[in-house]
């Protein structure tokens, strides 16, 4: 089964590259030093410092693998679009729901942060907006029931 494509903005790609470099070149060394110091304390069976450092090492190594997989399968989103009036990944859109306007940026799942208005292309809201045009309305199923959004602007 082929790996899933990870959609990233140029900025998102750079941030992931920086994070993986930091984890490899800084955090790994710090954790290795903590493990060495903890081993020098003696009995590892009741050594909380050692257990904590090993747990953190496991987390960091897992995060490195996760980021490397995302970067390997990354498709960096171009700001040049074939259809400028159609919603696509990387667009900043303004929508209206029940008279209130809200701006969202459509991003890949690795960059999503709904609190900052960055919604994933895989989320129900992101999927509903993709492919729509300025002026289109779309219905989205939400936990509170269906909601209708009108696309006001696409940038």
Could you report the per-residue pLDDT of 41-90, keeping only the tens digit for each?
A: 877 777 888 999 999 999 999 999 999 999 999 999 876 666 778 999 99
In a domain, 48, yes or no: yes
Tokens of residue 68, six digits? 């490397």
Given 20, 48, 76, which residue is the final one in a domain? 76
In a domain, 1, yes or no: no
pTM: 0.73
Angle between the N-to-C axes of helices 28-40 and 48-72, in degrees from 0 to 180, rounded to the nearest 10: 160
Tokens of residue 150, six digits? 């009108």
How crowded is the C-beta side of 19, counted as CA atoms within 13 Å?
A: 18
Do 52 and 101 fall within a single domain? no
Q: Euclidean distance between the first and final Cα of the chain, in Å?
A: 35
């Amino acid at each position: 089964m082929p790996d899933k494509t990870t959609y990233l903005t140029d900025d998102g790609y750079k941030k992931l590259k920086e994070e993986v470099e930091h984890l490899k070149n800084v955090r790994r060394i710090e954790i290795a030093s903590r493990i060495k110091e903890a081993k020098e304390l003696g009995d590892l069976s009741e050594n909380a410092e050692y257990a904590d450092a090993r747990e953190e090492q496991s987390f960091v190594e897992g995060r490195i693998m996760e980021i490397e997989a995302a970067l390997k399968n990354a498709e960096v989103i171009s700001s040049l679009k074939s259809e400028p009036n159609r919603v696509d990944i990387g667009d900043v859109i303004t929508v209206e729901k029940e008279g209130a306007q809200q701006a969202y940026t459509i991003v890949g799942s690795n960059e999503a942060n709904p609190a900052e208005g960055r919604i994933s292309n895989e989320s129900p809201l992101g999927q509903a907006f993709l492919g729509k045009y300025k002026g289109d309305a779309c219905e989205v199923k939400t936990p509170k029931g269906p909601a209708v959004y009108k696309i006001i602007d696409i940038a």
